[in-house]
Structure 1
Amino acid sequence: MSVGVSAEKNRMVSALLVTAGMIFTVGSALGFQHIGGYTPCALCLLQREPYYYAIPIGVLAILASIFKLPTVLTRVLLVVIGIAMLIGLGLGVYHSGVEWGFWPGPTTCATGAPSITTNAGNLLNDLNAIKAPSCNEAALRVLGLSFAGWNVIASAVLAGIAFWGASRKSA
């Protein structure tokens, strides 16, 4: 009986950790964008999408654990999160490879330059002055890794946590 309780606790802790990790990761990206002034390229924005889809699923996994809904529900939700993080990992590997010149990136890689003002009088000046970043160049490297490279690591860790929690079997 204690194995079942332990497995349930492991799933809840896993759901909490993976959801908090996803919120922290995408929150950091948004912080670098809105506070740090790093305008993301199209591939950067694409890498955020698995997080945007998986965070609500993580909240559902937490709630399923708290309300002791059928174990299979929490396990399935954790597997879906793990798959989303593997997709994020793949997108990060692709973008990192583009940045390192291992393979070509998309032919067009530009964002809507979210830092453009909404003041109509300055709009033309902003359009001429603000250039959307290229997917081929890392905006910043920390310990040799770009944002895309760090996303690969974060996605791998988060996928591991989700799959580990989903694999805990009840007695």
Structure 2
Amino acid sequence: MSTASAGLSGRLAAAWIPVALAASLAMLATAHAFERFGGYAPCLLCLKQREVYWVAAGIALVAFAGMRSPALRALRPWMGLALGLVFLFGAGLAAFHAGVEWKWWPGPAACAAGGGSVAGLDMGGLIDGSLKVREPACDNAAWRLAGLSMAGWNAVMSLGLATAGVAAWRFGRGRA
């Protein structure tokens, strides 16, 4: 490989870190916007999918902070691979959740508790803590676009991010 192409590969691998950070933060912001402004309460699996993006953002932030350090520069491709693997896990988790929504397989037992309503209850239950508000069920897709639920779209996005992370590792290996 020529020096010019090795330099380009290294720059592409380095560019992946801030892209992964921005993508993670954008996915978290989108999820919180659906919850806050759209009124879509997250189920247990939705919250678990968010944890993946928090982990990815943390890894990307550490990698981004160490990008200028000559000692850490050699680790950049491996951080890209770590991000790719985190996103791959997220894609699997989101695909599992989408399968639960399509009733292809059962979700975790904690996910079946949804559907509770607080209509007609007095404020005393809120004050004394006896009011039990249940989370939405994981097997109920509250929103779909082009046939995919939020979990389905998350699987697609996470798989794309995982592919980018592995490509960054492949192109940046040994050329950081």
Give the TM-score of the pair, scaled to structure 2: 0.82
Match of 2:9 among 7, 12, 26: 7
Choose from 156, 159, 164 the match for 1:156.
159
Q: Deviations over 1:80-117 (max 9, x none)?
A: 11111111111111110000010111122158x9xxxx
- Which residue identity is paired with 1:148? A
Shift of 1:131: 4.2
- For 1:79 and 1:87, the matched residues in 2 are separated by 12
State the secondary structure of the residue aligned to 1:108. Answer: helix
Matching residue within 33, 37, 40 for 1:38: 40
Question: Aligned partner of 2:74: which letter?
Answer: V
| 1:22-61 matched pairs, under 5 angstroms | 22-61=24-63
Is 1:84 aligned with 2:103? no
**Is 2:21 the partner of 1:19?**
yes
Q: TM-score, normalised by structure 1?
A: 0.84
- Provide the residue aligned with 1:75 in structure 2: 77
CA drift at 1:2:
1.9
Aligned-partner Cα distance in 2 for 1:31–1:126: 29
Q: Would you say the 8 A contact 2:17–2:60 is kept in 1?
A: yes
Q: Distance in 1 between matches of 2:164 and 2:71?
A: 20
Amino acid at match of 1:72: A
Structure of higher CA gyration radius: 2
Q: Is it true that 1:142 corresponds to 2:145 in the alignment?
A: yes
Between the aligned partners of 1:137 and 1:126, the Cα distance in structure 2 is 26
**Aligned AA (2:81):** V
Query: Gapped runs of 5+ residues in structure 2?
Result: 117-122
Contact 2:83 2:162 in 1 (8 A): yes
The SS at the match of 2:66 is: helix
Partner of 2:119: none
Kept in 1: contact 2:44–2:135 (CA 8 A): no
Cα-Cα RMSD: 2.5
Identity of counterpart residues, as a percentage?
Answer: 33
Q: Give the Cα–Cα distance (whole angstroms) in 1 for the partners of residues 14 and 125 of structure 2.
A: 50
Gaps of 5+ in 1: 114-119
